[in-house]
């Protein structure tokens, strides 16, 4: 099949299909005809984007956990008397990181990834620790995108409701 053969065909979009990007595959068959297949890009690309996002979130969680582990090891050494207080403070300063600032949508999606991976109920404080974000920012994001499997701890309230 040549480019001139393809130029003879007119491709139009139907109003019923709506507006979206597509990938077309043209396959020549044995009978010297061809098949044209169309794929919506949303259906193809979304799973790949989700994989990259999940990978990014989980990598950040592992890095946060590793830093926490190393800090705790240094703290144990300090408690055992291997460091003076000033030496300990200088050693652990490399493990202290400021909270990350993430927009609400990404924060909500990141929380969803963690909840799906863990498969259990966790507090917003634990989630804040895993993502290394300010608990206030996390609470604001979760208010706009509620999850059923997050227990919000409200200080001094046993039933979890504000008065």
| HEC profile of the chain | CCHHHHHCCCCCCCCCCCCCCEEEEEEECCCCCEEEEEEEHHHHHHHHHHHHHHHHHHHHHHHHHHHHHHHHHHHHHHHCCCCCHHHHHHHHHHHCCCCECCCHHHHHHHHHHHHHHHCCCEEHHHHHHHHCECHHHHHHHHHHCCCCCEECCCCCCCCCCCC
At residue 124 the predicted structure's pLDDT band, cuts being 50, 70 and 90, is confident
Q: Which residue has the higher pLDDT, 8 or 104?
A: 104
Residue 13 has pLDDT above 90, yes or no: no
Residue 65: pLDDT band (50, 70, 90) is very high
Specify the pLDDT at position 39: 66
The pTM assigned to this predicted structure is 0.60
Q: Is the pLDDT of residue 106 over 90?
A: no
């Amino acid at each position: 099949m040549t480019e001139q053969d393809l130029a003879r065909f007119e491709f139009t979009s139907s109003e019923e299909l709506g507006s979206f990007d597509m990938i077309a595959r043209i396959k020549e068959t044995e009978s010297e005809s061809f098949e044209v297949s169309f794929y919506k890009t949303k259906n193809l690309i979304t799973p790949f984007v989700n994989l990259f996002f999940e990978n990014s979130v989980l990598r950040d969680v592992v890095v946060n956990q590793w830093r926490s582990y190393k800090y705790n090891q240094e703290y144990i050494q300090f408690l055992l008397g291997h460091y003076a207080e000033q030496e300990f403070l200088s050693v652990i300063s490399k493990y202290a990181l400021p909270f990350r600032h993430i927009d609400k949508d990404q924060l909500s999606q990141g929380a969803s990834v963690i909840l799906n991976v863990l498969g259990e109920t966790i507090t917003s404080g634990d989630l804040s620790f895993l993502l290394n974000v300010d608990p206030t920012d996390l609470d604001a994001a979760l208010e706009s995108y509620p999850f059923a499997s997050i227990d919000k701890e409200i200080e001094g309230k046993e039933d979890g409701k504000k008065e």
